Structure 1
């Protein structure tokens, strides 16, 4: 779920990892097949069931076989507005809008 061991340790230290609904206190906690991990990542919660282990480190593609993703699918509600759209004239002007304003006011490229 994270790229490095130190990032995983930071999640555990921050209290963002649970094994079988119990908060993990130590970074070196043992995990067994059948355990359910709950991990809070960037406003999302992932729920994973451990299916097995590999004898040595491998690719992410091979790792996907070793766990079952139990995270419920999030269905966006129609009442949620798209996050990247803003009303005309609202908020900070874009770079193109700032250049248009500069041209309108007769400013040169150096901000004089």
Structure 2
């Protein structure tokens, strides 16, 4: 995208780490590249490296924080853009987050409590109905 007039970029492709950063799916480009290297970013169902070239119509799946974001590339940008323009560059197909009641019902351990003991694991298994 041209910074002066807001017109779309004439190039047909962009690096996956640069595009995900430009449309504000990641805070920094290095976070985007690290997620790609860790296998958390998939394009059309295939894990990709940061330098993978995206095209219009590609489906990008990002797994972060226990949630999966699914977006379709609508427009290619290489420079970081504002939120209103970023929203025009992708089609968000992500499932809605679970309701707060479901999240509250999930068992949680206190931060810093360490690994569950054998007794804790037995109680968890009993709660979940595992043999």
Q: Same fold (TM over 0.5)?
A: yes
Structure of higher RCO (CA pairs closer than 8 Å, 6+ residues apart): 2
Structure whose CA Rg is larger? 1
1:50 to 73, 85, 99: 73
Alpha-carbon displacement from aligned partner over 1:51-96 (angstroms, at most 9, x marks no partner): 012474321221111000001123427565368xxxxxxx8xxxxx
CA distance 1:61–1:22, change in 2 (3 Å): same
Aligned residue pairs total: 83
Runs (4 or more) in structure 1 with deviation over 3 Å come to: 54-57, 77-83
- Alignment RMSD (CA, Å): 2.3
Q: Which residue of 1 aligns with 2:54?
A: 31
Which consecutive unaligned segments of at least 5 residues does structure 2 have?
1-24, 111-131
TM-score (norm 1): 0.64
Q: Does 1:6 align with 2:27?
A: no
In terms of mean alpha carbon deviation, does 45-54 or 71-80 score higher? 71-80
